[in-house]
Amino acid sequence: MKFILQDLKVNINNNIYLKDPESSTLGKKIIEFSILLIDEIGFDSFTFKKLGEKIGSNESSIYRYFENKHKLLLYLTSWYWGWLEYQLVFTTNSISDAKEKLNKAIEIITRATKEDSSFSHINEVLLNKIVINEYSKSYLTKEVDNENKEGYFSIYKRLVNRIKDMIMEVDNHYKYPTSLASTVTEGSLHQHFLKDHFSSLTDCDEKITPTTYFINLVFNSLNNQKNG
């Protein structure tokens, strides 16, 4: 898997950036160190000036790649969801049994990223943490409808849609496959957050993972005589 992922280039809507960060050394540095810095100080305190200091570059150089830090967050999170989607498709592709396939899919989207694939400038473990802590901020804005129209969230939407399709493969009488898919995707981030900061609001801990919980939740709902 690692070998194949080496050639992965996530296709990100090119209106999110002004200049493709993958196209230059500075661009890659911006991505690499923005992940480290956002993880370190949080997105709210993160500024292009601080990032510039960190990479020994000028603030104005960073502005040539991204209009503002919001767009950078959209870029990072899009990359993350694209990376997850790749794993999802790659891993579940060969599974013919619908239940087994869905089971694997839930596992992939709900697990914590534990290993940095280390071939690239992107630290996936930290990026996963950033998505848990900051993703909501990318869409809880007054501009969300415009940005959605522009296609800034299309990778995420495609991912949720894939889960929905797998749910329907298991039970095409279940009435809420889309909501269930979005509940698992977003709810997983939330359960991870609760585990780290509000342990009294979750059953998840070292033993019980969000994966365990969500697999149980989903399969309880599917092919269940109560759901009709």
Residues that bind its own copies (CB under 8 A): 41-42, 44-45, 133-134, 136-137, 139-142, 144-145, 148, 153, 157, 160-161, 175-183, 186-187, 190-191, 193-194, 197-198, 200-204, 208, 210, 213, 216-217, 219-221, 224, 226-227
The partner in contact with residue 56, picked from DNA, its own copies, none with C-beta cut-offs of 5 to 8 angstroms by kind, is: DNA
Contact 152, 143 (CB under 8 A): no
Q: Does 23 bind DNA (CB under 7 A)?
A: yes
Tokens matching residue 104: 């694997």
Q: Interacting stretch for DNA, rule CB under 7 A, among 20-28, 122-130, 142-150, 204-212?
A: 20-28
CB burial of 144-174 (b: ≥16 within 10 Å; e: otherwise) equals eeebeeeebbbbbeebbebbbebbbebbeeb
The residue type found at 35 is I
Convert residues 62-91 into a mask of x (bound to DNA by CB under 7 A) and - (unbound): -xx--xxxx---------------------
Task: Number of residues interacting with DNA: please give it, by CB under 7 A.
Answer: 23
| Residue 185 φ/ψ, nearest 5 degrees | -65, -50
- Separation of alpha carbons 105 and 101, rounded Å: 6
The entry of DNA, its own copies, none that residue 134 binds, CB within 5 to 8 Å by partner kind: its own copies
Total Cβ atoms within 10 A of residue 15: 13
47 binds DNA (CB under 7 A): yes
Smallest gap from Cβ 139 to DNA, in A, equals 17
Residue of 58, 172, 220, 224 interacting with DNA (CB under 7 A): 58
CB of residue 178 to DNA, shortest distance in Å: 33
In the complex with its own copies, the residue whose CB is nearer, 23 or 136, is 136
Residue 39's binding partner among its own copies, DNA, none (Cβ under 5 to 8 angstroms by kind) is: none
Q: Of DNA, its own copies, none, which one does residue 58 interact with (CB within 5 to 8 Å by kind)?
A: DNA
| Nearer of residues 59 and 196 to DNA, judged by Cβ | 59
Residues that bind DNA (CB under 7 A): 19, 23-27, 45, 47-50, 56-61, 63-64, 67-70
